[in-house]
């Protein structure tokens, strides 16, 4: 097989062609790594917001249990606190943005659409 790569042979692989292919592969790997890092950041923003929402929901469950317990609680006060917690969830969801795209407000629909929107905004930035 060693003779197949001598100059002039039909099977000779031009070094320049090999170098260009290696450069293209390296560039593709770098782009894949860049997108992967961006996706990790996106997921971190989403996970943080969801964790905050989960904490608020736990508090809301406690309030609902107290209101339903039949004990002598000021239901109007509990309802007011409950409504504040609902607004807090909306605020958290509204603030969960990445690259200018809101991740939790429901405007993007499915998760795959969110990823596409982020990828589009990332590509248009020329990064």
Split into its structural domains, the chain has a count of 1
Instruction: Please state the φ and ψ torsions of residue 109, each to the nearest 5 degrees.
Output: 80, -125
Residue 98's nearest CA partner among 54, 45, 58 is: 45
Q: Is 58 part of any domain? A: yes
Residue 74 in any domain: the answer is yes
- Whether 56 is in a domain gets the answer yes
pLDDT higher than threshold 70 for residue 38:
yes
pLDDT bin (cut points 50, 70, 90) of residue 66 is confident
- Examine residue 28 and state whether it is found in any structural domain, yes or no: no
- The answer, yes or no, to whether residue 5 has pLDDT greater than 60, is no
107 part of a folded domain: yes
Asked whether residue 84 is domain-assigned, the answer is yes
Give me the domain span that covers residue 78.
43-124
The whole-angstrom separation of Cα 83 and Cα 77 is: 10
9 in any annotated domain: no
Residue 6 forms part of a structural domain: no
């Amino acid at each position: 097989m060693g003779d197949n790569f001598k100059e002039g042979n039909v099977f000779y692989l031009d070094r320049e062609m090999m170098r260009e292919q290696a450069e293209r592969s390296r560039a593709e790997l770098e782009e894949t790594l860049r997108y992967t890092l961006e996706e990790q950041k996106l997921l971190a923003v989403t996970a943080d917001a969801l964790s905050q929402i989960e904490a608020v929901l736990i508090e809301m469950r406690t309030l609902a249990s107290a209101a339903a317990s039949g004990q002598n609680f000021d239901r109007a006060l509990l309802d007011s606190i409950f409504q504040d917690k609902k607004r807090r969830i909306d605020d958290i969801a509204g603030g969960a943005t990445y690259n200018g795209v809101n991740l939790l407000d429901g405007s993007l629909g499915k998760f795959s659409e969110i990823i596409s929107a982020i990828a589009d905004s990332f590509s248009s930035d020329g990064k």
